[in-house]
Copies of this chain bind each other. A is one copy, B any other.
Amino acid sequence: MNDDDHSLLQRRRQVLGTGAPLFYEQPLHLVRGEGAWVFDADGRRYLDVYNNVPHVGHCHPHVVKAASRQLATLNINTRYLHGNVVDYAERLAATTDYDHAGVFFTCTGTESNELALRIARHVTGGTGIIASSVNYHGNSAVLASLCTAFPVPEPFPDFARLVQVPDPYRHRQGRSDAELASHYLDEARGAIASLEESGVKLAALLIDPSLANEGLPEFVPGYLTGLVELVRAAGGLVIADEVQSGFGRTGAAMWAHQYHGITPDIITTGKPMGNGFPIGSVISSYDVVDEFGRSANYFNTFGGNPVATAAAAAVLEVIENENLIANAATVGAYVQNRLTELMTRHEIIGNVRCRGMFFGLELVADRVSKNPSPLAGRIVNRMKDRGVLLSRIGPFDNILKMRPSMIFTFEQADILLAALDETLEEAAR
């Protein structure tokens, strides 16, 4: 950080507060982005392996052009007829498995999950929510109170229960997949029963099918489908939070729930949808959307406006034109293989996780105890010094989180992997 950056940081603290989060010990002052690259105020470039909001790359010209053109033409709410919102809603609906899907537009993932909860409560007549033990689904009063991924001031609500995040890396203890799934499902059964015993009727399971905030744990075949069955048997709906995992991120399908073999009752989206233009959505079967819309008079001032839907449509076009889901699969598989190779040289890597273009590297003190490594924070900062941006997640904040834009190339992957190799070697000294 130079003097100007220090001064900017000081001013920032004086108006946004000292708690306003910043990445890195020495915050990074970014001024420009292009594709997978971002540039700081001194002109230094960094490979962005963290930000999934610029889903098709920073400042993708097709998206910038579509949004800018519409900004100059008309930006108005959806209480007037406009082609953009209808065209885009149809395209979005067509990506799902519903025979006839309906769509609500929002501005953020928080708003999407709030709306999904309202719908689930309306449909079921219940209020109860099941979420994962390391969840974050939004910053509103209800969603924040559920949050267990980081501390929040609100008490955990009476209407919610948590199900333990599967973590076969730590919990397998010689058990087969079926035994492990059965173990987790027994716990989930207990959580659902506990709600019932408290007189709370279940409304929904709210879950990211990729368990991203949970640290992208290894899969336990049968677990997610079993959990969905339990929730449905108890009368609850299933909400798939695709805010991080959607739009082809897994490399296998448009939606993570398709990749994971479940059919949710409600899908919520956000972050990558408009490549940074604020837009989110709630997708469900048409009947549910139609009925809730009529009952609740749901309206969102900015949601689905012509600019937001122009940007979002452009994102879908880039995904298709540049074949980005296939790219997530091939580059993703390459990175996964290379990360697994790195394990042979770096004892600190306990476990490698991958969901298409989304990677987790669990760092451990040693491979026997599997205790979280205390070095993850330092490694994230040293990677930045080497010009590569990533972050960390998981219940112990020891899992390197890598979630580059969908245009990430083999060459860029090599830059990431070389920097990781050096940094992990340095950390072992």
Q: How many residues of A contact B (CB 8 A)?
A: 101
Chain B residue with Cβ nearest A144:
B118
* Interface 9-mer from A51-59, A330-338, A410-418: A51-59
Chain A residues numbered 1-57 whose CB sits less than 8 Å from any CB in chain B? 5, 8-9, 11-12, 14-23, 27-33, 38, 51, 53-54
* Interface 9-mer from A77-85, A191-199, A227-235: A77-85
Q: Which residues of B are found within 8 Å of A292, using beta-carbon distances?
A: 17, 19, 153
Please state if A276 and B302 are interface contacts (CB–CB under 8 Å). yes
Please state if A58 and B75 are interface contacts (CB–CB under 8 Å). yes
> Chain B CB within 10 Å — which of A108, A122, A292 has the most?
A108
Q: Does A245 contact B (CB under 8 A)?
A: no
CB distance from A311 to the nearest CB of B (A): 9
Produce 1/0 per residue, A283-298, CB < 8 A to B.
0001001111111111
Q: Which residues of B are found within 8 Å of A33, using beta-carbon distances?
A: 73-76
Q: Which residues of B are found within 8 Å of A53, using beta-carbon distances?
A: 75-77, 301-302
Please state if B74 and A32 are interface contacts (CB–CB under 8 Å). yes
Q: Does A419 contact B (CB under 8 A)?
A: no
Q: Does A165 contact B (CB under 8 A)?
A: no
* Bound: A152/B293 CA distance, A: 10
Please state if B30 and A80 are interface contacts (CB–CB under 8 Å). yes
Q: Does A179 contact B (CB under 8 A)?
A: no
Would you mind naming 13 contact pairs between A and B with Cβ atoms under 8 Å apart?
A14-B100, A16-B85, A16-B304, A19-B293, A19-B298, A30-B74, A30-B81, A31-B82, A33-B74, A33-B75, A33-B76, A68-B71, A151-B295
Binding site for B on A (CB under 8 A): 5, 8-9, 11-12, 14-23, 27-33, 38, 51, 53-54, 58-59, 61, 64, 67-68, 71-83, 85-86, 89-90, 93, 100-104, 107-111, 114-115, 117-118, 121-122, 139-142, 144, 150-154, 270-271, 275-278, 286, 289-302, 304-305, 307-308
